[in-house]
């Protein structure tokens, strides 16, 4: 089924709160969600002191980058909530693409790349029985220089005016709202198709690290539930969790 933009209302955001400093916008918003914050509450911090990514990894959070979390209380079954990571990536990628001449691409399961270097991460965390906090971190003005990371980082616009970060925040909320409405109306397929169209390394041989093990195969795209599809010498394999490692980042 094709979607039409006019069919897709935007999400009504309850409020955007901007904090000068937060330990973690996800943690702060989770606490607010569990205390009854409404669907659509959003929180941005100028800087974080304890930002984190997947599996508790530290996320450097200097002033000038985007640290944004927003709350959704989806009516869809919880089994589908993980689809919102891909939806967020698509919306965010479309926004960031407007602000750079480089190539913005998505990387499974929840990163964005600028010319092959990590520029953004997405973290989903449940809040109570019916809440989902979606956290977005973007290297707008600054990028970490840690040589130990699997994927080197980049900043979107190191020379830009600091006001760019607030503008990107507003644009992300609008873009997410449009895609969320589309997801509610048409399901995951439009999101999946758009994500695959922007995927980094599609058709190339990759490693997928999960725990102590690795799977190697040709990256074929996403399954209908967001699982990574690998072709291992003609055998199709679904990967539900792990980190994709490209040969240049191994």
- In this structure, the answer to whether residues 22 and 124 fall within a common structural domain is yes
* Number of structural domains the chain divides into: 2
> Which sign does the torsion angle of CA 207, 188, 171, 64 carry?
negative
CATH of the domain at 211: 2.30.30.100
Task: Give the H/E segment covering residue 177.
Answer: helix 163-186
Distance, in Å, from the CA atom of 22 to the CA atom of 18, rounded to the nearest integer, reads 10
Span 125-171, pLDDT tens digits: 999 999 999 999 999 999 987 655 567 899 999 999 999 999 999 99
- In this structure, the answer to whether residues 157 and 209 fall within a common structural domain is no
Span 192-243, pLDDT tens digits: 999 999 999 999 999 998 776 788 999 999 999 999 999 998 899 999 988 8
- In this structure, the answer to whether residues 228 and 168 fall within a common structural domain is no
Task: Give the H/E segment covering residue 218.
Answer: strand 213-222
Q: Is the separation of the CB atoms in 122 and 132 below 8 Å? A: no
Q: Burial level of 101, CB count in 10 A (0-12/13-18/19+)?
A: exposed
- In this structure, the answer to whether residues 241 and 144 fall within a common structural domain is no
- In this structure, the answer to whether residues 61 and 161 fall within a common structural domain is yes
Q: Does residue 74 surpass a pLDDT of 80?
A: yes
Distance, in Å, from the CA atom of 140 to the CA atom of 65, rounded to the nearest integer, reads 5
- In this structure, the answer to whether residues 47 and 166 fall within a common structural domain is yes
- In this structure, the answer to whether residues 149 and 36 fall within a common structural domain is yes
Give the residue numbers spanning the domain of 212: 205-249
Give residues with Cβ within 8 angstroms of 60, minimum separation 6. 51, 142, 144, 146
Question: pTM (2 decimals)?
Answer: 0.89
- At residue 245 the predicted structure's pLDDT band, cuts being 50, 70 and 90, is confident
- In this structure, the answer to whether residues 18 and 133 fall within a common structural domain is yes
CATH of the domain at 79: 3.30.930.10
Distance, in Å, from the CA atom of 181 to the CA atom of 47, rounded to the nearest integer, reads 30
Task: Give the H/E segment covering residue 235.
Answer: strand 235-239
Residue (of 32, 56, 33) closest to 129 by Cα position = 33
| Strand duo 205-210 + 66-72: pairing | unpaired
């Amino acid at each position: 089924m094709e979607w039409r933009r006019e069919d897709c209302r935007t999400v009504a955001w309850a409020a955007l709160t901007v904090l000068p400093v937060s330990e973690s916008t996800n943690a702060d918003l989770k606490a607010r969600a569990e205390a009854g914050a409404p669907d659509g509450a959003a929180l941005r911090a100028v800087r974080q002191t304890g930002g984190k990514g997947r599996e508790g990894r530290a996320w450097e959070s200097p002033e000038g980058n985007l640290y944004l979390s927003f709350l959704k209380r989806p009516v869809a079954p919880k089994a589908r909530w993980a689809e919102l990571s891909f939806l967020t990536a698509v919306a965010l990628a479309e926004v960031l693409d407007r602000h750079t001449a480089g190539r913005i691409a998505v990387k499974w399961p929840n990163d964005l790349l600028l010319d092959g270097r990590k520029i953004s991460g997405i973290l989903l965390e449940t809040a109570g029985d019916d809440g989902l906090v979606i956290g977005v971190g973007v290297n707008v003005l600054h990028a970490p220089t840690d040589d130990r990371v699997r994927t080197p980082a980049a900043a979107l616009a190191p020379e830009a005016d600091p006001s760019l970060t607030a503008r990107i925040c507003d644009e992300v909320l609008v873009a997410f709202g449009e895609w969320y409405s589309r997801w509610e109306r048409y399901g995951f397929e439009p999101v999946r198709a758009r994500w695959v169209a922007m995927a980094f390394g599609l058709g190339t041989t990759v490693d997928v690290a999960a725990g102590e093990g690795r799977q190697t195969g040709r990256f074929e795209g996403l399954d209908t539930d967001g699982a990574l599809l690998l072709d291992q010498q003609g055998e199709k394999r679904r990967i539900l969790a792990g980190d994709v490692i490209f040969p240049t980042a191994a």
